[in-house]
């Protein structure tokens, strides 16, 4: 398969705009029903944390993330044989942000990136914004990514 430039996904954009259509059940958010009774203890704790730590909650943190968290992760990694310091660790806001930072560190416009297909549309948009070309590798729901491809 040849690398291709990523084109705009009109169908994906149509689906994103269809959120007001009551016949469509949105499964893309991956967020819980916030009204469920089992979340009440979580909401109470979040409320307590906000009330007692308002400055911390509303303030900006270091770009690399909370130092105490990075130090704890470094300690845990040491237990498994990895020698890293808190300065070697970056806390991100999620997997998409992590992948974006990693790819920006190693890719430049025009590079070729292999992705599994189907692929999360947000990843394709990110890759398009980086100016890289993509080779889609077929996947199977039972066997995973096709090594032969």
CA 107/CA 133 separation, integer angstroms: 10
Token representation of residue 95: 């997997």
Centre a 10 Å sphere on the Cβ of residue 18 and count the other Cβ atoms it contains: 11
Within 10 angstroms of residue 56's Cβ, the number of other Cβ atoms is: 11
Map out the domains of the chain as residue ranges. Answer: 1-18+93-149
Tens-place pLDDT, residues 37-76: 888 898 899 899 888 888 877 877 788 888 999 999 999 9
Contacts of 139 (CB under 8 A, 6+ apart): 116, 117, 118, 145, 146
**Tell me: the pLDDT tens digits for 110-149?**
999 999 988 888 888 899 899 999 998 999 888 888 888 7
The model's pTM? 0.59
Dihedral of alpha carbons 67, 73, 76, 82, sign = negative
Q: For 62, how many CA atoms within 13 A lie in the half-sphere containing its CB?
A: 12
């Amino acid at each position: 398969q040849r690398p291709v430039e990523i084109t705009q996904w009109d169908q994906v954009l149509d689906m994103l705009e269809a959120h007001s259509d009551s016949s469509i059940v949105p499964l893309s958010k991956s967020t819980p029903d916030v009204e469920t009774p089992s979340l009440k203890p979580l909401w109470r704790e979040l409320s307590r944390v906000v009330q007692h730590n308002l400055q911390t909650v509303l303030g900006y943190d270091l770009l690399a993330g909370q130092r105490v968290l990075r130090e704890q992760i470094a300690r845990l990694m040491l237990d498994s044989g990895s020698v890293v310091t808190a300065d070697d660790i970056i806390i991100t806001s999620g997997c998409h942000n992590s992948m974006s930072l990693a790819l920006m560190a190693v890719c430049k416009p025009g590079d070729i990136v292999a992705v599994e297909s189907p692929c999360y549309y947000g990843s394709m948009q990110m890759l398009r914004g980086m100016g890289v070309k993509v080779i889609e590798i077929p996947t199977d729901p039972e066997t995973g990514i096709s090594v032969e491809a």
